[in-house]
């Protein structure tokens, strides 16, 4: 993962066909990048991680890493550390980023949770994103979509562009067509990279 926030801005400007900040300032694009990255988990695009901890006798609450979504599943090790035997772990619920048990454990068995984690929102242009480089294409197209929506909002206000008359070709219908094309590419990429929910076993006994 080597993409910087500045790379996203440059690529977005390439798709908007503006070599400099003709339409959008860096701060505006940075806000759109932030919004898009925050929205990715809702589109089933996220980081995956396995979080492990040990039960504590009598303890009901176990805090998960910040920003964790509801685990796909939790398992408990009924073997040893050198020869683990992982079985399904039941009797828990998630609230306020913590696992709550409905029974009090009496052992220190290891448990592991399969987590969905959000991507880190960039606050500068120095640290590389934790969004995979290929997934960054989704972020770029998402920012393009948001940028076109801003242009449509501008046209609805019927104001001059930075005190200069807007280009004759720039109409609501024109930008709406650009937006529709960008949305198609954006949605196609989401379908390509989204994580398909894993099948879950159904307990037909209890």
Mean pLDDT for the stretch of residues 155-183: 73
Show the tokens assigned to 103.
């029974």
Provide the phi-psi class of 69: left if phi over 0, else alpha when psi is between -120 and 50, else beta: beta
- Give the model's pLDDT for residue 206: 47
47-117 has which fold? Immunoglobulin-like (2.60.40)
| Opening angle at CA 178, ends 158 and 166, nearest 5 | 30
- Integer CA distances (angstroms), 145 to 39, 163, 201, in order: 13, 24, 38
Dump pLDDT digits (tens) for 31-74.
999 999 999 999 999 999 999 999 999 999 999 998 888 898 99
> With left for phi above 0 and alpha for psi between -120 and 50, is residue 162 left, alpha or beta?
left
Distance between CA atoms of residues 37 and 132, nearest Å:
12
pTM of the model: 0.81
pLDDT score, position 181? 95
Q: State how far the Cα of 194 lies from the Cα of 43, in Å rounded to an integer.
A: 7
Mention every residue, 6+ apart, whose C-beta is less than 8 A from residue 162. Answer: none
Domain regions of the chain by residue span: 5-43+120-193, 47-117
pLDDT at 157 over 80: no
């Amino acid at each position: 993962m080597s993409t910087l926030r500045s790379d996203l801005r440059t690529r977005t400007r390439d798709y908007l066909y503006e070599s400099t900040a003709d339409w959008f300032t860096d701060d505006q694009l940075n806000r759109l990048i932030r919004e898009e990255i925050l929205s990715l988990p809702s589109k089933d695009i996220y980081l995956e991680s396995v979080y492990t901890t040990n039960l504590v006798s009598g303890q009901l609450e176990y805090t998960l890493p910040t920003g964790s979504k509801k685990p796909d599943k939790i398992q408990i090790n009924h073997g040893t550390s050198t020869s683990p035997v992982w079985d399904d772990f039941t009797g828990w619920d998630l609230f306020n980023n913590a696992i709550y048990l409905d029974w009090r454990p009496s052992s220190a068995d290891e448990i592991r949770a399969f987590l969905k984690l959000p991507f880190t929102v960039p606050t500068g242009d120095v640290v590389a994103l934790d969004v995979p480089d290929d997934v960054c294409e989704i972020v770029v197209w998402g920012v393009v979509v948001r940028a076109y929506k801003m242009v449509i909002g501008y046209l609805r206000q019927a104001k001059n562009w930075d005190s200069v008359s807007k280009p004759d070709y720039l109409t609501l219908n024109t930008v709406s067509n650009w937006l529709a094309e960008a949305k198609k590419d954006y949605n196609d990429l989401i379908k390509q990279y989204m994580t398909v929910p894993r099948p879950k076993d159904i307990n037909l006994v209890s």
